[in-house]
Amino acid sequence: MPIIEVEGLAKSYGDHVALRDVTFSVEEGEIFGILGRNGAGKTTTVECLEGLRQADSGRISVLGMDPSEQSSELRGQLGVQLQESALPDNMKVWEALDLYSSFHKHPADWNSLLDEWGLAEKRGARFGKLSGGQKQRLFIALALVGNPRVAILDELTTGLDPQARRDTWQLVERIRDKGVTVLLVTHFMDEAERLCDRVAVFHDGRVAAVDSPGAIVAGRGSGQRVSFTPSEPVGDDELLGLPDVTGVERKGELITVSGTGDLLQVVTTALARKEVVPKGLQVHQAGLEDAFLALTGAATTDETEESAR
Amino acid sequence: MSALGKMTFTETKLMLRDPATAIMTLAFPLFLMTIFGIIPGFSEPYEGFNGAAVIDTFIPGVTVLVVLAVLGLSVMPVYLATYRERGVLRRLAASPASPTLLLVAQILVNVLLAIAAVVLLILFARFAFGVEPPANPAGFVLAFVLSTTTVLSLGLLIGAVVKSSKSATAIGLAVMFPLLFLAGVWTPVELLPGALSTIGTVTPMGAALEAIRDSWGGAFPDPLQLGLMAGYTVVLSAVAARTFRWE
């Protein structure tokens, strides 16, 4: 039986429709990703799951409870890490854990959480003096202080440097290894691909697809791209005439050929026959990003840059 | 320790860690008593106050009121607004903690600080300027408790709805000065023109100042003013609780 079930969720803020029709379910013990652009309805959905917001229509069941009816009971078993939240700057790390553990009936031992999340050295440090990664780890520890069965992590790695992001991914896997079901909200494709057992792709207030990252990629055609700079000029027609080639793009001297099947071999063989050397040859295998684009129909680059700032 | 106990203890530590507020609040009574204590004539019997000296009940009463006004209408709303602005309230809302926990803890912290300031005022006024402590202790405690709940509920209402700490500051001051004026802090109600003095004694701070001055002078506070303050507290805090926004 699913640990989280969402059916036909809809929510509007005035004229703005945030959720049109959101349906998915999460099985116990998995890392389930909610993937989408800003404004796709990811955060609104998890806020409804957490009982922070009330949907206009639809049905939600988290651990068998309705968040709008049994919010305080549910929050006792739900670990939550929120976007745009903070602690008072002068609060010390141990005080935060001590305080938040007092909200729970059966809290975890927060001293071992400190060790486990690498915060033991920062025990007496004030929140305002912590680095981004340390704050994030403290928020994870706070989310786990009530021994939750489900942890909801919203944009966990946004604003972290690449090394800290990679470290955080390991932490997420560790949470799951403890038997906690993880709902991971993200707009990073690599993060979803690396961590999630299954992903719900959100687009414009709807779920465009739910499946494992691999199945989502496979379902959208396994496109490939081969790019190179030819030593001698090559015409578009010569490339388009090859089997398996579906398109050719040029950027200055750089040619990108897209297609399916044995694309690399087809292209290199054809070039060798004409005695053209492909310089700087690169092969790009379609991934979740390409599948995401196919599902949602536009580039994500703007947003990824924005959030990386 | 219970969640409320831990929350109050933590909030108290946080307030002391940023000690400007606590120091100002505690130094203020000493400052005001000293200024007025050394002004010639303020220690002499004054016919406008039926023969009491200005520093006997008026200055102590004003001091208590201003301490409450600063804590209730400036410190607390700005604190809550900052918590809201920065997402501290949001994080708390996602925990199993009851929404009222932080509000109650905030009120307790400010009440503790107000009590400390009043005790300091009474001792300092007595030993530095020979001002007698409140002559009707029971009446004074009652007046002080109701004054505190009145002013803090008003502050809670401001803190419940403002979006940012800047607007909390602005609204707090915009509410504070007219109320202090009507309460007769600059011109004692005895000297305000008729209608204004009547209005003054029924405003939240006017009722508070009257009740505090009466009990300091030895009388039991007027039930009208005590009742008014109880009413203000119930209505204002109920509205604050209903309108409170986490973000």
In 10 A of CB A23, how many CB atoms? 15
Q: What is the pTM of this model?
A: 0.80
Both tokens of residue A247?
Answer: 């398109």
CB burial of A262-285 (b: ≥16 within 10 Å; e: otherwise) equals ebbebbbebbeeeebebeeeeeee
Provide the β-strand partners of residue A227.
A256, A282
Residue-wise pLDDT tens digits, A146-166 = 999 999 999 888 878 888 888
The beta-carbon neighbor of B95 closest among A84, A98, A103 is A103
The nearest alpha carbon in chain A to B13 belongs to A91
Q: CA B35 → CA A196, A217, A293, distances in Å? A: 69, 78, 73
Contact between residue B215 and residue B143 where contact means Cβ atoms under 8 Å apart: yes
User: Could you give the CA distance from residue A32 to residue B191 in angstroms, rounded to a whole number?
Assistant: 72
Both tokens of residue B99?
Answer: 């929404």
Helical pair B3-17 and B20-38, crossing angle rounded to 10 deg:
60
Closest approach of chain A CAs to the CA of B20, in angstroms? 14
The nearest alpha carbon in chain B to A74 belongs to B96
Is B85 at the interface with chain A, CB within 8 A?
no
Superfamily of domain A4-212: P-loop containing nucleotide triphosphate hydrolases (3.40.50.300)
Is the pLDDT score of B247 beyond 80? no
Q: Which of residues 24-83 of B touch A (CB under 8 A)?
A: 83
In this prediction, residue B55 carries a pLDDT of 81
Domain that holds residue B21: 3-243
Distant-in-sequence, close-in-space partners of B76: CB < 8 Å, separation ≥ 6: B106, B107, B110, B152, B155, B156, B159
User: Could you give the CA distance from residue B196 to residue B192 in angstroms, rounded to a whole number?
Assistant: 6
Which chain B residues are closer than 8 Å to A84 by Cβ? 87, 90
Is A95 at the interface with chain B, CB within 8 A?
yes
The DSSP string of B16-83 is HHSTHHHHHHHHHHHHHHHHHHHSTTTTSB-GGGTT-BIIIIIHHHHHHHHHHHHIIIIIHHHHHHHH
Residue-wise pLDDT tens digits, B89-132 = 989 988 888 767 888 899 999 999 999 999 999 999 999 888 89
- The residue of B91, B98, B109 whose CB has the most chain A CBs within 10 angstroms, and thus the best one to mutate to test that interface, is B91
Look up the ipTM and state it. Answer: 0.85
Which chain B residues are closer than 8 Å to A95 by Cβ? 10, 13
Provide the β-strand partners of residue B45.
B53
In this prediction, residue A92 carries a pLDDT of 96
User: Could you tell me how far CA B115 lies from the centroid of its own chain?
Assistant: 10
In this prediction, residue B123 carries a pLDDT of 94
Contact between residue B52 and residue B25 where contact means Cβ atoms under 8 Å apart: no
Distant-in-sequence, close-in-space partners of B87: CB < 8 Å, separation ≥ 6: A82, A84, A85, A86, B247
Per-residue pLDDT of chain A (309 residues), as tens digits, is 799 999 999 999 988 999 999 999 999 999 999 998 888 899 999 999 998 889 999 999 999 999 988 888 898 899 999 888 899 999 999 999 999 999 998 899 999 999 988 899 999 999 999 998 899 889 999 999 999 999 999 988 887 888 888 888 998 999 999 899 999 999 888 899 899 999 999 998 999 889 988 888 777 655 788 889 999 888 888 888 888 888 888 888 899 888 877 888 888 898 998 899 998 888 887 777 777 877 777 544 444 333 333
Name the nearest CA neighbour of A23 among A283, A244, A202: A202
Q: Indicate yes or no: CB of B96 within 8 angstroms of CB of A104.
A: yes
Q: Where are the domains of chain A?
A: 4-212, 223-285
In this prediction, residue A298 carries a pLDDT of 56
Q: Compute the count of residue pairs across chains A and B with CB atoms less than 8 Å apart.
A: 58
In this prediction, residue A305 carries a pLDDT of 37
In this prediction, residue A222 carries a pLDDT of 59
The beta-carbon neighbor of B97 closest among A87, A88, A103 is A103
Q: CA B137 → CA A4, A120, B134, distances in Å? A: 60, 51, 6
How many domains does one find in chain B? 1
Distant-in-sequence, close-in-space partners of B219: CB < 8 Å, separation ≥ 6: B136, B139
In this prediction, residue A243 carries a pLDDT of 84
Which chain B residues are closer than 8 Å to A76 by Cβ? 96
Closest approach of chain B CAs to the CA of A80, in angstroms? 7
Residue A274 per-residue DSSP state: T
Instruction: Assign domain A223-285 one CATH number from 1.20.120, 3.30.230, 3.30.70, 3.40.190.
Output: 3.30.70
- The residue of B8, B95, B102 whose CB has the most chain A CBs within 10 angstroms, and thus the best one to mutate to test that interface, is B95
Alpha-helix runs per DSSP H in B71-191: 76-86, 88-93, 100-129, 137-161, 165-182
In this prediction, residue A309 carries a pLDDT of 36
